Amino acid sequence: MPVTILAIESSCDDTSAAVIRDGYVLSNLIAGQEVHRSYGGVVPELASRAHQANIVPVIDEALKRSGTGISDISAVAFTRGPGLLGSLLVGASFAKGFALSLGIPLIEVNHLHAHVLAHFIKIKGREDNVPLFPFLCLLVSGGHTRIVLMKSYLDMEVLGNTIDDAAGEAFDKCGKLMGFPYPAGPVIDRQASEGNSKAFKFAKPSVKGLDFSFSGLKTSFLYFLRDRLKEDTDFIEKNKADLCASLQYTIVDILTVKLVKASLETGIKQIGIAGGVSANSGLREAVRAEAEKRGWALFIPAVDFTTDNAAMIGITGYYKYLRGEFAGQDITPLARL
Ligand code: KG4
Ligand code: ZN
């Protein structure tokens, strides 16, 4: 019997549903929320309302596109956290109701674990192109920046964490200072390709071990802009591409230095990047260069599986299903895990 998982992701501002069969994606739909763009960040109350409006049509369409009938679903997997509580509640409530009405197992998934397991989504003809354990992954998203050690599909150890802001937050907040809409990461990425990464220098933190810090960079960027704008009110407009390239270079360097350190300290050369910021072209280029220099087997997920998506929840649900790790109807979402 094939194992078919209906997966639901609603931790932040994307409502996503996917159908995964035996580790292969049959459908993966994502409804984004334009409503936050002009606010410079996600507004939690607006996010949960948009999830409520989107969840049924998105799941319905994911089922239709997968060619799967409801009776084919083996289990339903959902994001338990971390994330915005109001947003998580929408996905969790739907998943619980769905599982209860069909009498199928319910599987709770840690969103961060899922970002990492996106590397194990099966692609026809490329089934062998997956990391071997132990595997090191740099997980960089809007809310988290971590280096994790995966010993198996379900055994994840955190080796390093951000002590303040996440890398995605650094992109988004600095982008906001330049007047970009949320999320600013992709905009900075595009602008950076036309700028000089050495044009400006920003503060890099000194943080012990494998931990990260980005709040100093944000402050240094803020003061830098404030001083330059005093001299020339058009400074940002005139230097947009160079500002983006220099900022991106600094963030990517902070991340890459720690990933290299983690590999040297553990002796592990199976390396991956994951999460929304892993879509960044500067980061992809930097880790590719390190991989070549250091003989890493490098894994970079397809762009569709970097930012929030339900396929990654589905693949994690699949491995939990195989291990019989099911949740009860009394499960509650958690903003922090
Ligand atoms: O993983 P994700 O979709 O959501 C969280 O779990 O947080 O990550 C969203 C983050 C945002 O901060 C966004 O600006 C960033 O990923 N991001 C990027 C790029 N694409 C998305 N940052 C830099 N360059 C990109 N191309
Ligand atoms: Zn995420």
Q: Which of 171, 182, 284, 304 to mutate to test the pocket of ligand 1 (most atoms within 8 A of CB)?
A: 171
Report whether 7 contacts 320 (CB < 8 A): no
Structural domains in the chain?
4-123+306-322 (3.30.420.40), 135-301 (3.30.420.40)
Q: Is 143 in the pocket of ligand 1 (CB under 6 A)?
A: yes
Ligand nearest to the CA of 277: 1
Confidence of residue 128 (pLDDT cuts 50, 70, 90): confident
Q: Is 171 in the pocket of ligand 1 (CB under 6 A)?
A: yes
Q: Does 295 score more than 80 pLDDT?
A: yes
CA atoms lying within 13 Å on the CB side of residue 27: 22
Mean pLDDT of 141-161: 96
Largest CA distance in the chain: 69
Mean pLDDT of 83-105: 97
Q: What is the pLDDT of residue 36?
A: 77
Confidence of residue 10 (pLDDT cuts 50, 70, 90): very high
Q: What is the pLDDT of residue 258?
A: 98
Q: What is the pLDDT of residue 40?
A: 72
Q: Is 12 in the pocket of ligand 1 (CB under 6 A)?
A: yes
Mean pLDDT of 84-94: 97
**Per-chain mean pLDDT for the chain:** 95
* Secondary structure element (H or E) that encloses residue 45, with its range: helix 44-66
**Residue 128 and residue 131: Cα distance in Å, rounded?**
9
**Ligand 1 centre distance from Cα of residue 329 (Å):** 32
**Residue 17 and residue 29: Cα distance in Å, rounded?**
5
Q: What is the pLDDT of residue 327?
A: 98
Ion ligand 2 — residues with CB < 5 Å:
141, 308
Q: Does 157 score more than 80 pLDDT?
A: yes
pTM for the model: 0.94
Q: What is the pLDDT of residue 337?
A: 81
- More confident site: 113 or 42: 113
| Placement of tokens 């948009």 in the chain | 50
Q: What is the pLDDT of residue 42?
A: 82
Q: What is the pLDDT of residue 187?
A: 97
Q: Is 175 in the pocket of ligand 1 (CB under 6 A)?
A: no
**Ligand 1 centre distance from Cα of residue 172 (Å):** 8
Please measure the distance between the N-terminal and C-terminal CA atoms of the chain and give it in whole angstroms. 33
Q: What is the pLDDT of residues 25-70, one digit of tens each?
A: 999 999 987 877 777 778 888 889 989 999 999 999 999 999 999 9
Q: Does 243 score more than 80 pLDDT?
A: yes
Report whether 62 contacts 27 (CB < 8 A): yes
Q: Is 108 in the pocket of ligand 1 (CB under 6 A)?
A: no
Share of the chain above pLDDT 70, in %: 100
Q: What is the pLDDT of residue 68?
A: 94
**Residue 197 and residue 146: Cα distance in Å, rounded?**
24
Confidence of residue 290 (pLDDT cuts 50, 70, 90): very high
- More confident site: 218 or 35: 218
Q: Is 280 in the pocket of ligand 1 (CB under 6 A)?
A: yes
Ligand nearest to the CA of 30: 1
Q: What is the pLDDT of residue 45?
A: 84
Q: What is the pLDDT of residue 37?
A: 76
Q: What is the pLDDT of residue 234?
A: 97
Q: What is the pLDDT of residue 203?
A: 87
Q: What is the pLDDT of residue 47?
A: 87
Q: What is the pLDDT of residue 41?
A: 77
**Residue 287 and residue 270: Cα distance in Å, rounded?**
12
**Residue 19 and residue 166: Cα distance in Å, rounded?**
30
